[in-house]
Amino acid sequence: MPERERRWSGWGFEGERFPVPEAARSFLTERLGAGDPLPAVPEGEVKLPPSRPLPPLPLPAATDDGSRLRSACGSSLPDLVALRTGTVAAYPDAVCAPDTPDQVVELLRAAAAGGVTVVPRGGGTSVVGGVTVRPGGAPTVVLSLERLRGVISVDAASHLARVRAGTFGPELEAALAPHGLRLGHEPQSFEFSSVGGWVATRSAGQRSTGVGKIDDLVAGLEVATEAGLWRLAAQPASAAGPELRRLLIGSEGRFGVITEATLRLRPLPEREDGLAVLLPGWAAGVEVCRALLQSGVPVETMRLADPEETRFGMTLAALSPLAARAGRVLFGLRRYRNGCLLLLGWAGDTQGMTLTEQIAARLWRAAGGFALGRAGWRRWRADRFRHPYLRDELLAAGWGVDTLETAAPWSGLEAVYVRVREALARAAAALGMRVVVGCHLSHAYRDGASLYFTFFWPLARGREIAQWGALKSAATEALLGAGGTLSHHHGVGTIHAPYLEREVGRTGVAALAALARELDPHGVLNPGVLLSRTPDPGPRTPGGREG
């Protein structure tokens, strides 16, 4: 398919936008006050330092400003601020795009021999600094997977496909559909993120409640390391030692470069549909979600917005005047004053879907839910990949926005919910500003669920990163303190790396570092990502109990 041009300083395609609706602008102005707009400098004004000399590389290396600028950053809030203000801290010295997995190995060997750092890059949509070039290190080459694209083969009997790592979501599904199959992995970045990136970061998609995280969808892998191509053939299950595929899933480019994945597919459903339901409050909504999951009902998409996110979401929805009036009436009722929007989606055959809908309806009706119909669900489905465009527009309008996500057992969700919101409010107050925090529950499991927070604040010119850092670190401390995981599907990158030990313990970090030393003995790959520093090898002092 023809490639559309990507925006260099923000999300998505050039020309696509999600302008801030007037209702949303009023909502934020009322709640936060006006902030300092952060316009994007024109690309021509960004001045790049010259490329540093590189040793001989086995394949062509682009060193033009455009390639280097477009490969310097991911999509984190600090990345966006740096791009918009023309203050990117470091650029790659070159960009290489291998045509084959063997060329990836050759590049890694040349980098090891020549003291070069390699940053693997798929779609570049990391929001945690996973593909951001770091200043002060060795000469750096971005290894772009953009030419390792496409479906290699489909095993229709086994519902498996071998897919090159650089393949993006839409081209993957387009190649599978003629076989009557789909992967069904649809992160918000679906259009711009790659199979290899999904695997490297333990991605989740909007259907993951039904189809599972990418962790569950990988049957086989091929990974390029300095030692050669490492192939783990597709297996439905095994007991041949620890699951090494799981060691590579989430390795964020530290252990090797994922060049191919064999993915588990599903038949294209006969039909799919969904429903929007208004529940009288957050606790009631969470209970409906828990009951749905624990009853084993095959819901594919589940998304429960808290009262704040429900209200802000309505300002974005471009409702008809009639629907807007109905909404005001509904939220005016005492019962739905703290109304929470629940979106449920399912796919399959008519018989199974009818049963699913019946069971779901029993549960949400018992919790006092009010059916808003299928239109709300379809609207969300239609818009869901457009929401990230809004972030750039909000920055331009003077409001910062970032998201963070965690997961916890059902019994621990309320503590995470309360403490993250409190921490963000406290951190904002300490900065003399206000914050709006929305949250939704999604990606639910029998034993727990993910909470996804979105927070908005009024920007102060020149202090955007400091504001963000204070909010982000307060929220991260809070969620870890409440027993949530550091990340449910964004990954670790450089931004979460300093916190990783809090979750996996000193022994866990040491185990990961030992693997990095073994698989990337010259420390070529993605330094600073996942592990803040690679501890030196050598005997460790037996420590005390760790938490």
Q: Is 26 in the site for its own copies (CB under 8 A)?
A: no
Q: Is 204 in the site for its own copies (CB under 8 A)?
A: yes
CA proximity to 277, closest of 203, 182, 356, 375: 375
Rounded to the nearest 5 percent, the helix, strand and coil shares of the chain are: 40, 20, 40
Angle between helices 77-85 and 464-481 (to 10 degrees): 180
Q: Is 443 in the site for its own copies (CB under 8 A)?
A: yes
Q: Are 116 and 138 in contact (CB under 8 A)?
A: yes
For its own copies, the closer of residues 178 and 296 by Cβ is 296
Q: Is 436 in the site for its own copies (CB under 8 A)?
A: no
For its own copies, the closer of residues 195 and 519 by Cβ is 519
For its own copies, the closer of residues 62 and 512 by Cβ is 512
Q: Which residues contact 258 (CB under 8 A, 6 or more apart)?
A: 120, 165, 196, 199, 200, 221, 222, 223, 248
| Residue 402 beta carbon to its own copies: minimum distance, rounded to whole angstroms | 16
| Residue 409 beta carbon to its own copies: minimum distance, rounded to whole angstroms | 4
d(CA 144, CA 244): 24
For its own copies, the closer of residues 60 and 537 by Cβ is 537
Say how many residues touch its own copies, by CB under 8 A.
105
Phi and psi at residue 321, to the nearest 5°: -55, -40
For its own copies, the closer of residues 331 and 445 by Cβ is 445
Q: Which residues contact 264 (CB under 8 A, 6 or more apart)?
A: 159, 160, 183, 216, 217, 218, 219
| Residue 56 beta carbon to its own copies: minimum distance, rounded to whole angstroms | 17
Q: Is 49 in the site for its own copies (CB under 8 A)?
A: no
Q: Is 422 in the site for its own copies (CB under 8 A)?
A: no
For its own copies, the closer of residues 71 and 126 by Cβ is 126
Quick check: helix, strand or coil at residue 64?
Answer: coil
Residue 479: left (phi > 0), alpha (psi -120 to 50), or beta? alpha
For its own copies, the closer of residues 144 and 259 by Cβ is 259
Q: Are 134 and 527 in contact (CB under 8 A)?
A: yes
| Residue 426 beta carbon to its own copies: minimum distance, rounded to whole angstroms | 24
d(CA 311, CA 309): 5
d(CA 345, CA 333): 27
- What is the amino acid identity at position 487? S
**Site residues for its own copies, window 447-476 (CB under 8 A)?**
447-450
Q: Is 56 in the site for its own copies (CB under 8 A)?
A: no
Q: Is 291 in the site for its own copies (CB under 8 A)?
A: no
| Residue 304 beta carbon to its own copies: minimum distance, rounded to whole angstroms | 15
The strand ranges marked E within 307-410 are 340-348, 370-373, 399-409
**Site residues for its own copies, window 323-382 (CB under 8 A)?**
348, 351-352, 355
Q: Is 8 in the site for its own copies (CB under 8 A)?
A: no
d(CA 433, CA 94): 41
Q: Is 201 in the site for its own copies (CB under 8 A)?
A: yes
Pick from 58, 298, 481, 523 the residue near its own copies by CB under 8 A: 298
Q: Are 215 and 499 in contact (CB under 8 A)?
A: no
Q: Is 202 in the site for its own copies (CB under 8 A)?
A: yes
For its own copies, the closer of residues 132 and 225 by Cβ is 225
| Residue 447 beta carbon to its own copies: minimum distance, rounded to whole angstroms | 5
**Site residues for its own copies, window 237-266 (CB under 8 A)?**
237-244, 246-252, 255, 264, 266
| Residue 410 beta carbon to its own copies: minimum distance, rounded to whole angstroms | 4
